[in-house]
Amino acid sequence: MSGAVSQRACVYCGARVVLNPITDAFHIVHGPIGCASYTWDIRGSLSSGDELYRNSFSTDMKETDIVFGGEKKLSAAIDEVMAVHAPKVIFIYSTCIVGVIGDDVAAVCQAAEKKYGNRVISVKAPGFAGHKAIGYKMACDAILSLIQPFYKADAPKKGVNLLGDYNLAGEFWLVKNYLEEIGVHVITGITGDSSYKSLCAAPSAGLNLVQCAGSSHYLANLMEQDMDIPWIKVSFYGVEDTSTSLIRIAQALLDPEMELKARALIERETTRVAPRMAQVRKNLAGKKAAIYVGGGFKAISLIRQFNELGMETVVVGTQTGKKDDYEVIGNLVSEGTVILDDTNPAELEHFMKDKGADILVGGVKERPLAYKLGIAFCDHNHERKHPLAGFDGVINFAEEINSSLNSPIWKYMG
Protein backbone atom coordinates (compact mmCIF):
# COMPACT_ATOMS: atom_id res chain seq x y z
CA MET A 1 0.00 0.00 0.00
CA SER A 2 1.24 3.49 -0.82
CA GLY A 3 3.01 5.08 2.10
CA ALA A 4 2.50 1.90 4.11
CA VAL A 5 5.84 2.39 5.81
CA SER A 6 4.03 4.85 8.09
CA GLN A 7 1.24 3.98 10.50
CA ARG A 8 -1.24 5.52 8.09
CA ALA A 9 -1.19 5.35 4.31
CA CYS A 10 0.07 8.48 2.54
CA VAL A 11 -1.74 11.59 1.25
CA TYR A 12 -1.65 10.34 -2.34
CA CYS A 13 -3.16 7.03 -1.25
CA GLY A 14 -6.03 8.83 0.53
CA ALA A 15 -6.78 10.93 -2.55
CA ARG A 16 -6.67 7.89 -4.82
CA VAL A 17 -9.02 5.91 -2.56
CA VAL A 18 -11.73 8.53 -3.00
CA LEU A 19 -11.25 9.36 -6.69
CA ASN A 20 -10.33 5.99 -8.15
CA PRO A 21 -13.89 4.58 -8.24
CA ILE A 22 -14.90 7.20 -10.86
CA THR A 23 -15.14 4.62 -13.56
CA ASP A 24 -14.53 6.66 -16.71
CA ALA A 25 -11.92 9.06 -15.31
CA PHE A 26 -8.26 8.88 -16.19
CA HIS A 27 -5.91 8.84 -13.22
CA ILE A 28 -2.34 9.89 -14.01
CA VAL A 29 0.13 9.47 -11.18
CA HIS A 30 2.84 12.07 -11.69
CA GLY A 31 5.87 10.56 -10.03
CA PRO A 32 8.10 7.51 -10.02
CA ILE A 33 6.44 4.25 -10.99
CA GLY A 34 6.27 2.89 -7.42
CA CYS A 35 3.47 5.25 -6.34
CA ALA A 36 1.33 3.97 -9.23
CA SER A 37 1.35 0.47 -7.78
CA TYR A 38 -1.69 1.55 -5.81
CA THR A 39 -4.35 0.45 -8.28
CA TRP A 40 -7.93 -0.73 -8.63
CA ASP A 41 -7.19 -4.30 -7.59
CA ILE A 42 -6.13 -3.13 -4.12
CA ARG A 43 -9.61 -1.71 -3.55
CA GLY A 44 -12.05 -3.75 -5.59
CA SER A 45 -14.63 -1.05 -6.31
CA LEU A 46 -17.04 -2.38 -8.95
CA SER A 47 -18.40 -0.67 -12.05
CA SER A 48 -21.68 -1.04 -13.93
CA GLY A 49 -20.18 0.67 -16.98
CA ASP A 50 -16.73 1.83 -17.91
CA GLU A 51 -13.64 -0.11 -16.82
CA LEU A 52 -11.05 2.57 -17.55
CA TYR A 53 -10.46 3.16 -13.84
CA ARG A 54 -9.01 -0.33 -13.43
CA ASN A 55 -5.82 0.82 -15.17
CA SER A 56 -3.05 2.77 -13.54
CA PHE A 57 -1.13 5.41 -15.48
CA SER A 58 2.11 7.01 -14.43
CA THR A 59 4.57 9.53 -15.83
CA ASP A 60 7.26 7.13 -14.57
CA MET A 61 9.65 9.93 -13.56
CA LYS A 62 13.33 9.09 -13.82
CA GLU A 63 16.48 10.82 -12.57
CA THR A 64 16.63 13.29 -15.48
CA ASP A 65 13.03 14.33 -14.84
CA ILE A 66 13.86 14.94 -11.21
CA VAL A 67 16.88 17.08 -12.14
CA PHE A 68 15.31 19.04 -15.03
CA GLY A 69 11.66 18.94 -13.99
CA GLY A 70 8.77 16.73 -15.06
CA GLU A 71 6.29 19.25 -16.50
CA LYS A 72 7.06 18.46 -20.15
CA LYS A 73 6.70 14.76 -19.49
CA LEU A 74 3.36 15.38 -17.80
CA SER A 75 2.10 17.48 -20.72
CA ALA A 76 3.18 14.75 -23.13
CA ALA A 77 1.32 12.16 -21.01
CA ILE A 78 -1.87 14.26 -21.15
CA ASP A 79 -1.50 14.66 -24.95
CA GLU A 80 -1.12 10.90 -25.31
CA VAL A 81 -4.16 10.20 -23.12
CA MET A 82 -6.27 12.68 -25.09
CA ALA A 83 -5.16 11.24 -28.41
CA VAL A 84 -6.02 7.68 -27.41
CA HIS A 85 -8.95 7.94 -24.97
CA ALA A 86 -10.15 11.58 -24.88
CA PRO A 87 -11.70 11.22 -21.38
CA LYS A 88 -13.98 13.95 -20.03
CA VAL A 89 -11.89 14.20 -16.87
CA ILE A 90 -8.28 13.47 -15.95
CA PHE A 91 -6.98 13.61 -12.39
CA ILE A 92 -3.26 14.33 -12.01
CA TYR A 93 -1.82 13.22 -8.67
CA SER A 94 1.39 14.96 -7.56
CA THR A 95 3.45 12.54 -5.49
CA CYS A 96 6.31 13.12 -3.02
CA ILE A 97 9.08 13.88 -5.48
CA VAL A 98 6.89 16.33 -7.41
CA GLY A 99 6.23 18.14 -4.15
CA VAL A 100 10.00 18.34 -3.61
CA ILE A 101 11.07 19.55 -7.07
CA GLY A 102 8.05 21.87 -7.36
CA ASP A 103 6.65 21.09 -10.81
CA ASP A 104 3.82 23.54 -11.52
CA VAL A 105 1.19 20.85 -12.04
CA ALA A 106 -1.70 23.30 -11.72
CA ALA A 107 -0.31 25.32 -14.66
CA VAL A 108 0.09 22.17 -16.78
CA CYS A 109 -3.52 21.21 -15.99
CA GLN A 110 -4.81 24.68 -16.86
CA ALA A 111 -2.96 24.67 -20.19
CA ALA A 112 -4.35 21.20 -20.99
CA GLU A 113 -7.92 22.25 -20.16
CA LYS A 114 -7.54 25.22 -22.49
CA LYS A 115 -6.11 23.06 -25.24
CA TYR A 116 -8.65 20.23 -25.08
CA GLY A 117 -11.74 21.74 -23.43
CA ASN A 118 -12.04 18.85 -20.96
CA ARG A 119 -11.37 18.81 -17.22
CA VAL A 120 -7.79 18.15 -16.11
CA ILE A 121 -7.71 18.45 -12.33
CA SER A 122 -4.57 18.75 -10.24
CA VAL A 123 -4.62 16.72 -7.01
CA LYS A 124 -1.74 18.02 -4.92
CA ALA A 125 -0.98 14.92 -2.89
CA PRO A 126 2.70 14.51 -2.01
CA GLY A 127 2.83 11.68 0.50
CA PHE A 128 4.86 13.63 3.04
CA ALA A 129 2.28 16.42 3.36
CA GLY A 130 0.43 14.52 6.09
CA HIS A 131 -1.46 11.26 6.03
CA LYS A 132 -4.35 9.57 4.28
CA ALA A 133 -7.02 11.86 5.75
CA ILE A 134 -5.35 14.91 4.13
CA GLY A 135 -5.60 13.03 0.84
CA TYR A 136 -9.34 12.58 1.39
CA LYS A 137 -9.65 16.36 1.60
CA MET A 138 -7.60 16.84 -1.58
CA ALA A 139 -9.92 14.43 -3.36
CA CYS A 140 -13.02 16.19 -2.01
CA ASP A 141 -11.65 19.53 -3.28
CA ALA A 142 -11.07 17.92 -6.69
CA ILE A 143 -14.65 16.59 -6.78
CA LEU A 144 -16.02 19.99 -5.80
CA SER A 145 -14.00 21.62 -8.56
CA LEU A 146 -15.48 19.08 -11.01
CA ILE A 147 -19.13 19.47 -10.02
CA GLN A 148 -19.35 23.12 -8.96
CA PRO A 149 -19.85 24.48 -12.51
CA PHE A 150 -23.04 22.39 -12.76
CA TYR A 151 -24.69 23.94 -9.71
CA LYS A 152 -27.71 26.10 -10.49
CA ALA A 153 -29.12 27.90 -7.47
CA ASP A 154 -32.66 28.13 -8.88
CA ALA A 155 -32.91 24.55 -10.23
CA PRO A 156 -35.36 22.16 -8.49
CA LYS A 157 -33.74 19.84 -5.92
CA LYS A 158 -34.57 16.16 -6.17
CA GLY A 159 -32.95 12.83 -5.31
CA VAL A 160 -29.94 11.95 -3.16
CA ASN A 161 -26.21 11.35 -3.51
CA LEU A 162 -24.54 8.61 -1.48
CA LEU A 163 -21.17 9.93 -0.29
CA GLY A 164 -18.36 7.78 1.08
CA ASP A 165 -19.49 4.53 -0.47
CA TYR A 166 -16.99 2.99 -2.87
CA ASN A 167 -19.11 0.13 -4.21
CA LEU A 168 -16.86 -2.51 -2.70
CA ALA A 169 -18.14 -5.87 -3.83
CA GLY A 170 -21.26 -4.10 -5.15
CA GLU A 171 -22.39 -2.55 -1.84
CA PHE A 172 -23.55 0.65 -3.51
CA TRP A 173 -25.88 -1.39 -5.72
CA LEU A 174 -27.41 -3.12 -2.69
CA VAL A 175 -28.11 0.20 -0.98
CA LYS A 176 -29.31 1.82 -4.20
CA ASN A 177 -31.83 -0.99 -4.67
CA TYR A 178 -33.24 -0.44 -1.17
CA LEU A 179 -33.48 3.29 -1.75
CA GLU A 180 -35.16 2.91 -5.11
CA GLU A 181 -37.59 0.38 -3.66
CA ILE A 182 -38.79 2.94 -1.12
CA GLY A 183 -38.98 5.67 -3.76
CA VAL A 184 -35.67 7.54 -3.36
CA HIS A 185 -33.93 8.46 -6.59
CA VAL A 186 -30.15 7.99 -6.26
CA ILE A 187 -28.33 10.46 -8.49
CA THR A 188 -24.81 9.17 -7.97
CA GLY A 189 -22.42 7.50 -5.63
CA ILE A 190 -19.53 9.70 -4.58
CA THR A 191 -17.62 8.00 -5.75
CA GLY A 192 -18.64 4.32 -5.96
CA ASP A 193 -19.67 3.30 -9.48
CA SER A 194 -19.81 6.96 -10.56
CA SER A 195 -19.04 8.52 -13.90
CA TYR A 196 -18.27 12.01 -15.09
CA LYS A 197 -21.89 12.41 -16.19
CA SER A 198 -23.47 11.16 -12.96
CA LEU A 199 -21.15 13.31 -10.84
CA CYS A 200 -22.04 16.41 -12.81
CA ALA A 201 -25.69 15.83 -11.83
CA ALA A 202 -24.79 15.65 -8.10
CA PRO A 203 -25.47 19.37 -7.40
CA SER A 204 -29.18 18.84 -8.19
CA ALA A 205 -29.65 16.59 -5.13
CA GLY A 206 -32.01 17.51 -2.31
CA LEU A 207 -30.06 15.51 0.28
CA ASN A 208 -26.60 14.01 0.70
CA LEU A 209 -26.21 10.70 2.55
CA VAL A 210 -22.80 10.27 4.15
CA GLN A 211 -21.73 6.67 4.65
CA CYS A 212 -17.99 7.02 5.31
CA ALA A 213 -17.76 10.22 7.30
CA GLY A 214 -13.93 10.02 7.51
CA SER A 215 -13.54 10.56 3.79
CA SER A 216 -16.68 12.48 2.91
CA HIS A 217 -17.79 14.62 5.83
CA TYR A 218 -15.62 17.45 4.44
CA LEU A 219 -17.24 17.25 0.97
CA ALA A 220 -20.73 17.07 2.48
CA ASN A 221 -20.01 20.29 4.38
CA LEU A 222 -18.65 22.00 1.27
CA MET A 223 -21.74 20.98 -0.72
CA GLU A 224 -23.99 22.24 2.05
CA GLN A 225 -22.21 25.62 2.16
CA ASP A 226 -21.85 26.11 -1.60
CA MET A 227 -24.92 24.31 -2.97
CA ASP A 228 -27.35 24.36 -0.08
CA ILE A 229 -27.62 20.54 0.05
CA PRO A 230 -28.22 19.28 3.61
CA TRP A 231 -26.70 15.96 4.67
CA ILE A 232 -27.21 13.19 7.17
CA LYS A 233 -24.93 10.39 8.32
CA VAL A 234 -26.08 6.89 7.42
CA SER A 235 -24.72 3.41 7.89
CA PHE A 236 -25.80 0.26 6.12
CA TYR A 237 -23.87 -2.17 8.30
CA GLY A 238 -25.99 -4.41 10.52
CA VAL A 239 -29.75 -4.85 10.88
CA GLU A 240 -30.19 -1.99 13.33
CA ASP A 241 -28.20 0.65 11.46
CA THR A 242 -29.53 -0.33 8.03
CA SER A 243 -33.08 -0.11 9.36
CA THR A 244 -32.68 3.21 11.16
CA SER A 245 -30.83 4.71 8.19
CA LEU A 246 -33.68 3.88 5.80
CA ILE A 247 -36.24 5.39 8.15
CA ARG A 248 -34.13 8.48 8.79
CA ILE A 249 -33.72 9.05 5.04
CA ALA A 250 -37.50 8.87 4.52
CA GLN A 251 -38.01 11.26 7.45
CA ALA A 252 -35.35 13.67 6.20
CA LEU A 253 -37.13 13.75 2.84
CA LEU A 254 -40.42 14.46 4.67
CA ASP A 255 -42.24 11.66 2.87
CA PRO A 256 -44.61 9.55 5.05
CA GLU A 257 -45.38 7.16 2.21
CA MET A 258 -41.68 6.52 1.74
CA GLU A 259 -41.37 5.82 5.46
CA LEU A 260 -44.16 3.22 5.23
CA LYS A 261 -42.35 1.55 2.35
CA ALA A 262 -39.09 1.61 4.32
CA ARG A 263 -40.78 -0.07 7.29
CA ALA A 264 -42.25 -2.76 5.01
CA LEU A 265 -38.83 -3.43 3.45
CA ILE A 266 -37.21 -3.66 6.88
CA GLU A 267 -39.88 -6.09 8.09
CA ARG A 268 -39.45 -8.33 5.04
CA GLU A 269 -35.64 -8.36 5.15
CA THR A 270 -35.37 -8.75 8.92
CA THR A 271 -37.67 -11.76 8.74
CA ARG A 272 -35.60 -13.19 5.89
CA VAL A 273 -32.25 -12.99 7.74
CA ALA A 274 -33.53 -13.93 11.22
CA PRO A 275 -33.33 -17.77 10.96
CA ARG A 276 -29.68 -17.77 9.80
CA MET A 277 -28.74 -15.18 12.41
CA ALA A 278 -30.29 -17.34 15.12
CA GLN A 279 -28.27 -20.38 13.99
CA VAL A 280 -24.99 -18.45 13.92
CA ARG A 281 -25.67 -16.75 17.26
CA LYS A 282 -25.57 -20.13 18.99
CA ASN A 283 -21.96 -20.62 17.86
CA LEU A 284 -20.81 -17.17 18.91
CA ALA A 285 -22.29 -16.72 22.36
CA GLY A 286 -19.76 -15.35 24.82
CA LYS A 287 -17.03 -14.63 22.24
CA LYS A 288 -15.09 -11.38 22.50
CA ALA A 289 -14.39 -8.99 19.64
CA ALA A 290 -11.81 -6.27 19.01
CA ILE A 291 -12.52 -3.60 16.38
CA TYR A 292 -10.01 -1.29 14.70
CA VAL A 293 -11.35 0.56 11.66
CA GLY A 294 -11.03 3.93 9.91
CA GLY A 295 -14.21 5.79 10.81
CA GLY A 296 -16.22 6.19 14.00
CA PHE A 297 -19.56 5.45 12.37
CA LYS A 298 -18.35 2.09 11.10
CA ALA A 299 -17.04 1.19 14.55
CA ILE A 300 -20.44 2.06 16.03
CA SER A 301 -22.22 -0.17 13.48
CA LEU A 302 -19.83 -3.01 14.23
CA ILE A 303 -20.41 -2.83 17.98
CA ARG A 304 -24.16 -3.06 17.28
CA GLN A 305 -23.58 -5.98 14.91
CA PHE A 306 -21.61 -7.86 17.56
CA ASN A 307 -24.41 -7.17 20.02
CA GLU A 308 -26.86 -8.61 17.47
CA LEU A 309 -24.64 -11.72 17.35
CA GLY A 310 -24.52 -12.06 21.13
CA MET A 311 -20.84 -11.11 21.32
CA GLU A 312 -19.07 -8.55 23.49
CA THR A 313 -16.79 -5.84 22.09
CA VAL A 314 -13.80 -5.65 24.44
CA VAL A 315 -11.53 -3.32 22.43
CA VAL A 316 -12.65 -0.68 19.93
CA GLY A 317 -10.62 1.92 18.08
CA THR A 318 -10.75 4.15 15.01
CA GLN A 319 -8.34 6.21 12.94
CA THR A 320 -10.56 9.20 12.22
CA GLY A 321 -13.38 9.00 14.81
CA LYS A 322 -14.59 12.31 16.24
CA LYS A 323 -15.52 13.28 19.79
CA ASP A 324 -19.25 12.65 19.21
CA ASP A 325 -18.49 9.20 17.73
CA TYR A 326 -16.56 8.29 20.87
CA GLU A 327 -19.45 9.46 23.04
CA VAL A 328 -21.78 7.06 21.22
CA ILE A 329 -19.17 4.27 21.42
CA GLY A 330 -18.78 4.88 25.16
CA ASN A 331 -22.54 4.50 25.63
CA LEU A 332 -22.75 1.30 23.57
CA VAL A 333 -19.97 -0.77 25.12
CA SER A 334 -19.76 -2.36 28.56
CA GLU A 335 -17.76 -1.03 31.47
CA GLY A 336 -14.11 -2.00 31.03
CA THR A 337 -14.05 -1.98 27.21
CA VAL A 338 -10.86 -0.35 25.95
CA ILE A 339 -11.50 2.56 23.57
CA LEU A 340 -8.55 3.66 21.43
CA ASP A 341 -8.07 6.65 19.14
CA ASP A 342 -5.55 6.47 16.28
CA THR A 343 -3.59 3.71 17.95
CA ASN A 344 -0.57 1.68 16.81
CA PRO A 345 -0.05 -2.09 16.48
CA ALA A 346 1.84 -2.38 19.79
CA GLU A 347 -1.02 -0.84 21.78
CA LEU A 348 -3.60 -2.83 19.88
CA GLU A 349 -1.70 -6.04 20.60
CA HIS A 350 -1.37 -5.18 24.26
CA PHE A 351 -5.06 -4.48 24.77
CA MET A 352 -6.28 -7.42 22.67
CA LYS A 353 -4.17 -9.79 24.76
CA ASP A 354 -5.16 -8.09 27.97
CA LYS A 355 -8.87 -8.34 27.18
CA GLY A 356 -8.72 -11.82 25.66
CA ALA A 357 -10.19 -10.87 22.27
CA ASP A 358 -11.14 -13.87 20.12
CA ILE A 359 -11.39 -11.97 16.84
CA LEU A 360 -10.15 -8.71 15.37
CA VAL A 361 -12.10 -6.78 12.75
CA GLY A 362 -9.91 -4.38 10.82
CA GLY A 363 -8.16 -3.59 7.57
CA VAL A 364 -5.17 -4.78 5.63
CA LYS A 365 -2.62 -3.65 8.22
CA GLU A 366 -4.33 -5.40 11.11
CA ARG A 367 -4.56 -8.83 9.47
CA PRO A 368 -0.93 -9.91 10.14
CA LEU A 369 -1.21 -8.70 13.74
CA ALA A 370 -4.24 -10.91 14.39
CA TYR A 371 -2.65 -13.93 12.76
CA LYS A 372 0.61 -13.45 14.65
CA LEU A 373 -1.38 -13.41 17.86
CA GLY A 374 -3.18 -16.57 16.75
CA ILE A 375 -6.64 -15.07 16.76
CA ALA A 376 -9.35 -14.90 14.11
CA PHE A 377 -9.61 -11.94 11.74
CA CYS A 378 -12.38 -10.34 9.67
CA ASP A 379 -11.43 -7.95 6.86
CA HIS A 380 -13.81 -5.00 6.92
CA ASN A 381 -11.79 -2.89 4.56
CA HIS A 382 -11.38 -2.47 0.85
CA GLU A 383 -9.78 -5.70 -0.19
CA ARG A 384 -12.74 -7.94 0.46
CA LYS A 385 -14.72 -9.47 -2.36
CA HIS A 386 -18.11 -9.96 -0.70
CA PRO A 387 -20.53 -7.27 0.45
CA LEU A 388 -20.96 -6.59 4.16
CA ALA A 389 -23.58 -3.85 3.73
CA GLY A 390 -27.34 -4.17 3.82
CA PHE A 391 -29.27 -7.28 4.83
CA ASP A 392 -27.25 -9.55 2.53
CA GLY A 393 -24.15 -8.15 4.22
CA VAL A 394 -25.59 -9.01 7.64
CA ILE A 395 -25.60 -12.69 6.68
CA ASN A 396 -22.16 -12.49 5.03
CA PHE A 397 -20.71 -10.82 8.12
CA ALA A 398 -22.26 -13.31 10.54
CA GLU A 399 -21.03 -16.25 8.47
CA GLU A 400 -17.54 -14.83 8.14
CA ILE A 401 -17.26 -14.20 11.88
CA ASN A 402 -18.62 -17.68 12.56
CA SER A 403 -16.31 -19.52 10.14
CA SER A 404 -13.24 -17.53 11.16
CA LEU A 405 -13.85 -17.83 14.92
CA ASN A 406 -14.81 -21.47 14.81
CA SER A 407 -12.16 -22.60 12.35
CA PRO A 408 -10.34 -25.76 13.55
CA ILE A 409 -7.01 -24.01 12.88
CA TRP A 410 -7.09 -22.18 16.24
CA LYS A 411 -6.75 -25.52 18.07
CA TYR A 412 -3.27 -25.93 16.62
CA MET A 413 -1.94 -22.51 17.63
CA GLY A 414 0.64 -22.54 20.39
CA 265/CA 32 separation, integer angstroms: 50
> Does 58 sit near ligand SF4 (CB under 6 A)?
no
Smaller CB separation from ligand SF4, 34 or 49: 34
Q: Least separation, in Å, of the C-beta of 42 and ligand SF4? A: 12
Question: Measuring CA to CA, how many Å separate 184 from each of 151, 267, 409?
Answer: 21, 18, 46
Taking CB under 6 A as the rule, does residue 35 contact ligand SF4? yes
31/170 with CB nearer ligand SF4 = 31
The answer to whether residue 10 forms part of the interface with ligand SF4 (CB under 6 A) is yes
One of 21, 70, 127, 206 touching ligand SF4 (CB under 6 A): 127
DSSP class of 385 = S
Residue 34 or 230: which CB sits closer to ligand SF4? 34
CA distance 312 to 324: 22
Do the beta carbons of residue 208 and residue 189 sit within 8 Å? no
How many positions of this chain bind ligand SF4 (CB under 6 A)?
10
Q: Which stretch binds ligand SF4 (CB under 6 A): 2-10, 210-218, 252-260, 327-335?
A: 2-10
Of 149, 126, 109, whose CA–CA distance to 26 is shortest?
109
Counting contacts by CB under 6 A, is residue 70 touching ligand SF4? Answer: no
What residue is closest to ligand SF4 based on CB? 127
Distance set, CA 183 to CA 154, 205, 208, 260, 393 (Å) = 24, 14, 16, 11, 22
Contact 34, 60 (CB under 8 A): no
User: In the complex, what is the shortest distance from the CB of residue 200 to ligand SF4, in angstroms, rounded to a whole number?
Assistant: 29
* Contact call for residue 57 and ligand SF4 (CB under 6 A): no
For the chain, helix, strand, coil in percent to 5 are 55, 15, 30
Among 2, 161, 195, 320, binds ligand SF4 (CB under 6 A): 2
Nearest approach in angstroms of CB 37 to ligand SF4 is 8
Residue 8 CB, shortest distance to ligand SF4, in Å, is: 11
Task: Supply the minimum distance, in Å, between the C-beta of residue 134 and ligand SF4.
Answer: 11
Q: DSSP for 126-151?
A: -GGGS-HHHHHHHHHHHHHHHHGGG-
DSSP code for 156: P
User: Which C-beta is closer to ligand SF4: that of 31 or that of 238?
Assistant: 31
The Cα 54–Cα 52 span in angstroms is 5
* Least separation in angstroms between CB 123 and ligand SF4: 11
Among 3, 14, 206, 296, binds ligand SF4 (CB under 6 A): 3
Mark residues 77-116: x for contact with ligand SF4 by CB under 6 A, - for none.
Answer: ------------------xx--------------------
* Complex with ligand SF4: residue 37 or 403, whichever CB lies closer: 37
Integer Cα distance of 379 and 376 in angstroms: 10
Residue 242 binding ligand SF4, by CB under 6 A: no
Nearest C-alpha neighbor of 168 from the set 55, 21, 56: 21
* Shortest spacing between CB 222 and ligand SF4, in angstroms: 24
Which residues, other chains included, contact 271 with Cβ-Cβ below 8 Å and sequence gap of 6+?
Answer: none
Give the residue ranges of DSSP H helices in 118-212. Answer: 132-147, 171-181, 196-200
Residue 84 phi, psi (nearest 5) = -90, -45
Query: Residue 409, Cβ neighbours under 10 Å: how many?
Result: 10
Least Å distance, CB 256 to ligand SF4, is 49
Per CB under 6 A, residues contacting ligand SF4 are 2-3, 10, 12, 31, 35, 95-96, 126-127
